[in-house]
Structure 1
Amino acid sequence: MLVAVASVKGAPGVTTLAVGLAALWPRPGAVLVEGDPAGGDLWARFGHHPSPGLAGLAAATVHPAAGQDLRAHLQRLPVGVDAVLAPPGDGAAASVRMLADRGTGILRRAAGSSTVVLDLGRLEPGGPNLALAGAADQVLLLARPELAELNQVGARLPWLLPRLAGRLWLVPAGSGRVPTGQITRALGVSVIGAVPHSRWGAPALAGQLQVPNWRRLAWGRAVARIAEALAATEPAPALGTPLLPPAVSPVLHAPQPHAEPVRAPR
């Protein structure tokens, strides 16, 4: 299965969620690919070198002798995740574009035998990472459950949905005032799970803290539930049947006073 994790505005924790999904996938062998054209962060966060990584994988799309086996470009992160690390700066954008133009077949082949999680950063019209999202079986879109940010998501669905061959899910990140049911009704996109704000779990996967039991924290349990729900969808939906965009951009309205408050994470 090929799983893409992205956002359309802000920085709600895309990379951290992608690492968590790869680490907590219920079946062994899941790998992570940093495909954010804005540049990779994991190599610096965990004290690695960006090579081998995305640049070599992109080069393999032009020169097959460079190794089109995804395993040749992996590095093991301290949190137990095998990852294709992206370089910083403009080098990442060039590598993502090469991969989008020539390398989706490599990703699809790798996803045929194990789960591949793509960290795509922010999606924009015409961005090279949008083509990678379009090749995915499942696309997770992170957004804070606040009116302004969710309306920004709704305004982008008309150009985003036609580019996706797989299924789009929304993942509310952090605390907010908009209940899950209202998000689904207004945007027409199902919520597969929410990830709470975390003082310990998320920083552990960002290389900021060493928290050996992060999987048992509320953040880790929430991400594990999302991974299990995604794994349960296999076999993945057939590619080539994009979802249709809504006729008009959906707009969320302020919740009524009786709306249930978001519980603080434990």
Structure 2
Amino acid sequence: MLIAVCSVKGAPGVTTLGLGLAALWPEEGAVLLECDPEGGDLAARFGHHPEPGLTSLAAASRPGSGPVSFDDHTQSVSVGARVVLAPPGDAAAAAVQTLVYSGAEVLRRTADVRAVIVDLGRLTRGSAGVRLAAAADHVLVVAGGHLADALQVQARLEWLRPELSGRLWLVRAGDDGYGAAELSRALGVPVLGESPPSRLVGGALAGRLQVPNWRRLRLARAMRDMAITLTTAQPASILPDAAVDRLVPVEVRS
């Protein structure tokens, strides 16, 4: 299964969610690909060298390079997740571009036998990240619950929906603003789950804190519930195009 995690404006916890899903996935073998062209932070956060990682995977995926094993390019970080780490700076964007144009078959073959979670950061129209999202079975758009957040998602659905072959979901970030049901009705997109703020879980998944019991805390439980839902959800459909007609701003509450 190939799962893309992204935002459309800013990055409200995209990497945190992607890493949490990889660490908490209910089946063995899940791996996170750090494919945010502006990312490349996890190696430094967890005290790793970024190689082997995304750059070596992209190079190995070039035509004529022979069989490719993801395991040769992953590293284990302290929260219990396997990660293909990206380098910092412009090298991350170059590796993503190479992987998109040369490694799509490798990604698909690997996703046929294990969960591959791809951190795309912020999606922009025509970007390499959109090409990766287009290949995913599930696309998770992380957004806050305020009217401004909903409108930012709404404004991009017109071009994003036709690009996708998999199922589109929202993940509501934060505790304030509109609830999941309200966002889903307004945007015509199902909400996979909610990602409440958590200093402890967020700190653990950012490599800043050592929290032995982080998997039992509220945010981690929410992430695990999302992972379980994805393992049982039908991947090959998105909401009907008619849902676009329901994209109206949520009424502001006083």
TM tier relative to shorter chain: over 0.9
Query: Secondary structure of 1:22's match?
Result: helix
Instruction: List gaps (5 residues or longer) in structure 2.
Output: none
Sequence identity (%): 51
Aligned mates of 1:93, 1:18 — CA distance in 2: 18
> Could you tell me how far apart the structure 2 residues matched to 1:4 and 1:146 are?
23
The normalised TM-score by structure 2 is 0.94
Deviations 1:110-145 (A, max 9, x none): 011111110110000111111011110001000011
Task: Name 1:163's counterpart in structure 2.
Answer: 163
- AA matched with 1:155: A
Taking the aligned partners of 1:223 and 1:67, their CA distance within structure 2 comes to 33
Q: Contact 1:151 / 1:250 at 8 angstroms: preserved in 2?
A: no
Q: Give, as a single letter, the amino acid of the residue that structure 1 aligns with 2:69.
A: D
Code of the residue aligned with 1:250 in structure 2: it is: L
- Preserved CA contact (<8 Å) 2:188 2:239: no
Which amino acid in the other structure matches residue 98 of structure 2? M
Structure 2 residue matching 1:118: 3-state secondary structure: strand
Residue from 243, 247, 250 that aligns with 1:250: 247
2:177 alignment partner in structure 1: 177
SS of the residue aligned with 2:65?
helix
| 1:192 aligned counterpart, secondary structure | strand
Alignment correspondent of 1:23: 23
Instruction: Give the SS at the match of 1:101.
Output: helix
SS class of match (1:62): coil
Change (3 A) 1:213 1:108: same
C-alpha displacement at 1:249, in angstroms? 8.5
Please tell me the residue identity of whatever aligns with 2:145: P
Which of structure 1's runs of 4+ aligned residues deviate more than 3 A?
A: 63-67, 241-249, 254-257
SS at match of 2:169: strand
Give 1:203 shift: 1.3
SS in 2 for 1:189: coil
Residues in 2 aligned to 1:86 and 1:210: alpha-carbon distance in whole angstroms: 23
SS of residue paired to 1:184: helix
Which residue number corresponds to residue 264 of structure 1? none
Structure 1 residues 40-59: aligned runs within 5 Å: 40-59=40-59
Query: How many aligned residue pairs are there?
Result: 254
Distance in 1 separating the partners of 2:14 and 2:28: 22
Give CA-to-partner distance per residue, 1:9-49, whole Å, 9 cap, x none: 02211001000001111111111111111131100000001
In structure 2, the partner of 1:237 is: 236
Distance 1:67 1:55, change over 3 A: farther
Partner of 1:109: 109
1:61 aligns with 2:56: no
Q: Corresponding residue for 2:151?
A: 151
Measure the CA separation in 1 of the matches of 2:145 and 2:17.
16
The AA in structure 2 aligned to 1:122 is: R
Amino acid corresponding to residue 254 of structure 1 in structure 2: E
Distance 1:108 1:242, change over 3 A: farther
| 2:127 partner letter | G
Question: Residues 211 and 66 (structure 1 numbering): CA distance in 2 closer, same or farther, change over 3 Å?
Answer: farther
Query: TM-score, normalising length from structure 1?
Result: 0.90
Aligned CA RMSD, in angstroms, stands at 1.9
